[in-house]
Copies of this chain bind each other. A is one copy, B any other.
């Protein structure tokens, strides 16, 4: 198995996370680095989605990935093996989220001068990660079909802070009681301007559109 760098994240000492996040966001903008904060429930398919997307984009922009997890480095290893890009693992030491200072600790371990897009795969959790601004340029989340179309009702903050909602595992739609129409309505109730992109990371369906969305956003920040 390939080895990846593992960073043990220290608990943040900053009292004002919002200010710190703004500072990090401005700093990244100055460096021409786009930071995407990707959130979701455990098992929604974040890693598979990333592998597909990165493989479509890696010859056009320079990408690095930070994989946050309570424990283990399976995701960072998987990403590195499947895409060959810079991939590091952040261990949160039991913490359920990342804030701006914790994100910065991860960024410090990357070669940002050689990077256009950093994707932060946040801890699998629909509650806490939504409460802490990581300093990301944009927030995205994955909702997978088996989780149900009612999730925006139950996790309002998560859906209201995300610019992009990816609906994954559309291939199993026939086996679940999931209505895309109801889901869209629930997402837009929380955030009327959220973009919704249905994909199937397993088959690759919709990943082209997701990659284009990301490419446009990264280009817009550089412009």
A interface residues with partner B (beta carbon < 8 Å): 41-43, 69-72, 74, 94, 96, 123-128, 131, 144, 146-148, 150-151, 153-157, 169, 171-172, 175-176
Contact = CB atoms under 8 A, between A and B. Distances in A.
A133 to B, nearest CB: 15
Contacts of A172: 146, 172, 175-176
A155 B70 contact: yes
- State the 7 A-B residue pairs at the shortest beta-carbon distance, nearest first: A43-B147, A146-B146, A96-B127, A43-B148, A72-B153, A41-B42, A41-B41
A124 B41 contact: yes
A156 B69 CA distance: 11
A169 B126 CA distance: 21
Chain A interface mostly helix, strand, loop or mixed?
loop
20 contacts: A41-B42, A41-B124, A43-B148, A69-B154, A70-B127, A70-B154, A70-B155, A74-B150, A96-B125, A96-B127, A124-B154, A124-B155, A125-B125, A127-B128, A128-B128, A146-B147, A146-B169, A146-B172, A171-B175, A172-B172
A156 B70 CA distance: 8
> Which of A74, A154, A175: most chain B CB closer than 10 A?
A154
Q: Which one of A70, A169, A171 has the highest number of Cβ atoms from chain B below 10 Å of its Cβ? A: A70
Contacts of A151: 42-43
B96 A128 contact: yes
Contacts of A96: 96, 125, 127-128
Contact of A144 (B74, B146, B157, B171): B146
A189 B58 CA distance: 37
Contacts of A128: 96, 125, 127-128
Contacts of A175: 171-172, 175
Given A41-B43, A70-B155, A96-B128, 9 more contacts: A42-B154, A43-B151, A72-B153, A94-B131, A124-B127, A124-B155, A128-B128, A144-B146, A175-B175
